[in-house]
Structure 1
């Protein structure tokens, strides 16, 4: 069982934007393509203003637009400033990009922004954190509370915990919102 008792956000899979776009005559694929184009234009302008070199890749998969800012130059430290401490700048930039798409299309976006592979690396870390928590619960039978994390990160952990047959629940408010992993009720 996976529980996240906060208001459903586009990040967590709110189906409403797709239904709205289709109701006004646009197909889902066309909406996602437009979303990617608007977001890429916004991000290109931001990179120009910040004088940061980076290429923008757009991919649509599983009904969601994924945008990556990458650099072929490993010494390009400018991209790191777009990630920030623990991905805080990346999360803010993702929200600003979603607002840009909303302004241009009048449709909420569920796009996911990644910079320099940060989300992939963080996803692997979160998978390991979830696996370690499940192992601790398995060994001790006690609940394990994890450190606070963003809604996107909690979703990844909830999915891993559920796949391993255990229960996870989000607790706390705001920046202190975190996951507690428990034994399954079976």
Structure 2
């Protein structure tokens, strides 16, 4: 896909397409919530060049959506893939949509940035590469972004589900 300058017509077309992805995903997820007999509000956004959809509890004390997250976010990952497939079926194009449920990914992002910063400091101090624990693609992306922001380099190595980020000096 070609890159565009912010504010150009092509950039506006991308945002419109991503908003459409979000709407399709929201419709799919609303039906899913109805079938599962779960209550939740759906928020749609465009974040870092991706459609971003979040399911949040209507009542802050209701933790029933946590069932849709599952251990370590496994159910969330599966539901995200199903939602991406639903979007692809409607649009004919592969979706990179990000799904968050009950704030799980937002909280995990904060945790991962702290892990990345600690590792970055160790690499800066020692000069030696550091390999982190295996992570899913969402988690690796968060770490790669934090590493790049710190001026270091990182690569993903290994094969799923043991794929991990290795941080090195630039």
**Following TM superposition, by how much is the alpha carbon of 1:101 offset from its aligned partner in structure 2, in angstroms?**
0.6
- Corresponding residue of 1:156: 142
Q: Residue 53 of structure 1 contacts residue 76 of structure 1 at CA under 8 Å; is this kept in 2? A: no
The CA deviation at 1:34 is 2.3
**Structure 1 residues 107 and 79, CA, compared in 2 at 3 Å: closer, same or farther?**
same
Aligned pair 1:42/2:25, yes or no? no
Superposed CA RMSD: 2.0
**Matched residue, 1:68:** 54
User: Which residue number in structure 1 is paired with residue 7 of structure 2?
Assistant: none
Compute the displacement of 1:62 (Å). 4.2
How many equivalent pairs are there?
162
Once the 2 structures are TM-superposed, how far is the Cα of residue 158 of structure 1 from its aligned partner?
0.9
> Larger relative contact order (C-alpha < 8 A, sep ≥ 6)?
1
Alignment pair present for 1:168 and 2:168: no
Question: Counterparts of 2:59 and 2:88 in 1: how far apart (Å)?
Answer: 32
The equivalent residue for 1:54 is 40
Q: CA deviation at 1:113?
A: 0.8
Task: Report which stretch shifted further, 54-63 or 116-125.
Answer: 54-63
1:99 is aligned to: 85
SS at match of 2:59: coil
- Could you say which residue in structure 2 is the equivalent of 1:108? 94
Distance between the aligned counterparts of 2:144 and 2:46, measured in 1? 23
Distance 1:87 1:41 in 2: 22
Runs (5+) with no aligned partner, structure 2: 3-12
Match of 2:129? 143
2:109 to 123, 126, 141: 123
Aligned-pair CA distance for 1:103: 0.8
Q: Normalization by structure 1: what TM-score?
A: 0.80
Runs of 4+ aligned residues of structure 1 deviating over 6 Å after TM superposition are: none
Q: Which moved more, 1:57-66 or 1:112-121?
A: 57-66
Name the CA shift for 1:39/1:134 in 2 (closer, same or farther; >3 Å).
same
Distance 1:39 1:115 in 2: 13
TM-score (norm 2): 0.87
